[in-house]
Structure formats: C-alpha cells, structure tokens
C-alpha cells in the first residue's frame, strides 16, 4: 500500500469576496508515494506546492474550505473522513513560514508540545527532543526563545518540533529556503537519513535542484495544476522542455553537460556533482592520452 495516494485531486480556494470566482489551483493531481520514499516537489511560484502539501494532511480542504474533488488517502486514511488532529499524529507538516508555527517560550517547550499532548512520558519526550534538535544541528539552543532565532534557525527548530511526534509521513514546505548552502545540504542529508533509516515517508517542496538530485528518490513537477512528471531526478532534470515549460532550472552541472553536448557533440548525462566530476575526469584523461 502506498503511504500517500492522491487520485485526481481538483481543488479551488473559496472566492476572496462573496460572489467572486474561486481560485482553481489543482486541476487533476494524481500521485503515489511509497513508504520510506523521499519525494521532492518542484513547481514555480504560485504553482500550488503549498496547497498540495496541505492537501496531504487534510488541512486542504478541511480548514480552507473551497471546492475539493478526487481523493487523498494518506496511510490508508481518507483526508476528508479523518479529523485534522488525528491525521496530524501520523502526518507531520513543516510550514513554509516557520514563524506561524511557534507559540512556546523556549525551543525545548516548542518541541515538547506535540508529544506532551499525545501523553508521551516525560523521559521519552526529553530523549526525542535531544535527538530531533541534534539531527537539525540545534542541540545547543534548547533554552532559547524561538522568536529570537535567525530565519534559518527557526526553520530547523520547526522541523525538530514536528519530528518529536515521530510522524510516519513528513511533509516539508520549502524548509531550506532561508538556509545558507551548507545548512541546506545538512537539512537535506538529515531528511534523507530519516527516510532511509526510519522508513519515514518524505515529501519536500523545494527549488533546490542540486540537493534534490543528490538526496531524493524521485522528483514531481507541479505545473498547470497537474503533476507534469514524476520520476528519478536523473530523468526529470534531463527533460529540458518540461523544465522550461514549468519555469524551473535543472542543477547547474546538468546545464553545463547540455551546453557541452551542444557545442562539442558530447553525450554527457549528469545531474549530480559527483557524476559530473567523474565524467569530466574521464574525458580529460582520454584527452591527454590522444
């Protein structure tokens, strides 16, 4: 059974003013995500990534209203038949704007809130907090007020606060947007480990093609209210026509390879830095031998 199954989702937000027109965001989204898979979600600004993330834990349409058709079945539960609070126990959502998520005096309290509400014993809560804060590199900030952290630190704490619930499905809406490159890589690596070692199912909206290519199993392109393509990063990032149409860019190494293919009649196919280095080293070695 897939962890996430979206069947022909259609969704429109309610009209901003009574009598106005609803805003259609999702036209026909079908997607399956396997347990323990790390799926990245790409799409231009306004493509509907946040809306789709919220549809995966039932906030859309249960909190937003609007017109919803099709089915979203998460861990075997239909989002329209499952209360949001019940879904939230198994499906963690890290919001795009972490600020909206904080309401505790300290980072530690923020991380404790979810498991406390579920009646997890204090000793286990403490262990989960230590684990989650260490995982996102915020172990030394437990006593700080979340509001006094930098944007990137807030994002890390927001991830830790959701992780302390040990969700089976973790949905992250652009969690690395305000991190520096090293921080982005750290978060991607940590999320990748959760998928591999804990069999957590991950859906992560991101614009970061390099990190997606490095760490995720598949990447889904959201365009025109549909999943235009969902495949391994190597296949999706080589689909130049699709990326152009969707207003997205592949990793830079893929663009370099494409330019070399054009200008030198080469046949390079790379999406990861490591692959690019290996392919170029091979060509350089070949070049010196000739």
Ligand X SMILES: Nc1ncnc2c1ncn2[C@@H]1O[C@H](COP(=O)(O)OP(=O)(O)OP(=O)(O)O)[C@@H](O)[C@H]1O
Residues of this chain that interact with ligand X (CB under 6 A) are 13, 23, 25, 43, 45-51, 96
Minimum Å gap between C-beta 230 and ligand X is 16
Both tokens assigned to 22:
């609803």
Contact range with Mg ion by CB under 5 A, out of 31-39, 49-57, 238-246, 247-255? 49-57
| Bridge partners (DSSP) listed for residue 172 | 94, 204
Pick the closer one to Mg ion by CB: 49 or 156.
49
In contact, 31 and 208? CB cutoff 8 Å? no
Pick the closer one to ligand X by CB: 94 or 112.
94
Minimum Å gap between C-beta 168 and Mg ion is 23
In contact, 33 and 39? CB cutoff 8 Å? yes
Q: Residues touching Mg ion: how many (CB under 5 A)? A: 3
Rounded CA gap, 157 and 231, in Å? 31
Minimum Å gap between C-beta 201 and ligand X is 20
Pick the closer one to ligand X by CB: 29 or 270.
29
Minimum Å gap between C-beta 175 and Mg ion is 11
Q: Phi/psi at 237 (nearest 5 deg)?
A: -75, -10
Q: Which residue in 147, 250, 151, 159 sits closest to 200, CA to CA? A: 159
Determine how β-strand 77-78 pairs with β-strand 91-94. unpaired
| Site for Mg ion, residues 67 to 106, rule: CB under 5 A | 96
Residue 36's CB is within 10 A of a number of other CB atoms, namely 17
Pick the closer one to Mg ion by CB: 104 or 178.
178
Query: Which of ligand X, Mg ion, none interacts with 192 (beta carbon under 5 to 8 A by kind)?
Result: none
Question: Does residue 155 interact with Mg ion by CB under 5 A?
Answer: no
Pick the closer one to Mg ion by CB: 50 or 153.
50
Rounded CA gap, 181 and 216, in Å? 17
In contact, 29 and 226? CB cutoff 8 Å? yes
In contact, 54 and 93? CB cutoff 8 Å? yes
Question: Does residue 50 interact with Mg ion by CB under 5 A?
Answer: yes
Question: Does residue 176 interact with Mg ion by CB under 5 A?
Answer: no
Both tokens assigned to 13:
């937000």
Minimum Å gap between C-beta 13 and ligand X is 3
Q: In the complex, which residue's CB is closest to Mg ion?
A: 50
Minimum Å gap between C-beta 177 and ligand X is 9
In contact, 4 and 200? CB cutoff 8 Å? no
Pick the closer one to Mg ion by CB: 96 or 101.
96
Both tokens assigned to 98:
């972490």
Write out the residues near Mg ion by the rule CB under 5 A.
Answer: 49-50, 96
């Amino acid at each position: 059974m897939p962890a996430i199954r979206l069947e022909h989702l259609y969704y429109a937000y309610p009209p901003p003013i009574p009598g106005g027109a609803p805003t259609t965001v999702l036209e026909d989204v079908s997607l399956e995500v396997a347990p323990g898979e790390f799926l990245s979600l790409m799409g231009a600004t306004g493509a509907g990534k946040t809306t789709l993330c919220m549809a995966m834990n039932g906030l859309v349409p249960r909190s937003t209203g609007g017109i919803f058709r099709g089915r979203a079945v998460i861990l075997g539960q239909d989002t329209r038949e499952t209360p949001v609070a019940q879904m939230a126990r198994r499906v963690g959502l890290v919001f795009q704007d972490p600020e909206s998520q904080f309401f505790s005096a300290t980072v530690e309290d923020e991380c404790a809130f979810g498991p406390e509400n579920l009646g997890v014993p204090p000793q286990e809560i403490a262990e989960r907090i230590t684990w989650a804060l260490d995982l996102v590199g915020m172990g030394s900030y437990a006593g700080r007020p979340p509001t006094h952290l930098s944007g990137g630190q807030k994002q890390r704490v927001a991830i830790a606060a959701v992780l302390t619930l040990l969700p089976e499905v973790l949905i992250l809406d652009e969690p690395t947007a305000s991190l520096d490159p090293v921080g982005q890589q750290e978060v991607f690596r940590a999320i990748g480990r959760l998928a591999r070692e804990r069999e957590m199912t991950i859906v992560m909206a991101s614009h970061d093609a390099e990190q997606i290519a490095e760490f995720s199993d598949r990447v889904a392109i959201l365009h025109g209210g549909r999943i235009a393509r969902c495949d391994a990063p190597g296949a999706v990032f080589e689909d130049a026509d699709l990326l152009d149409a969707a207003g997205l860019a592949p990793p830079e190494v893929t663009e370099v390879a494409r330019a070399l293919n054009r200008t030198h009649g080469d046949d390079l196919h790379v999406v990861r830095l490591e692959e690019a280095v290996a392919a170029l080293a091979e060509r350089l070695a070949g070049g010196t031998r000739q």
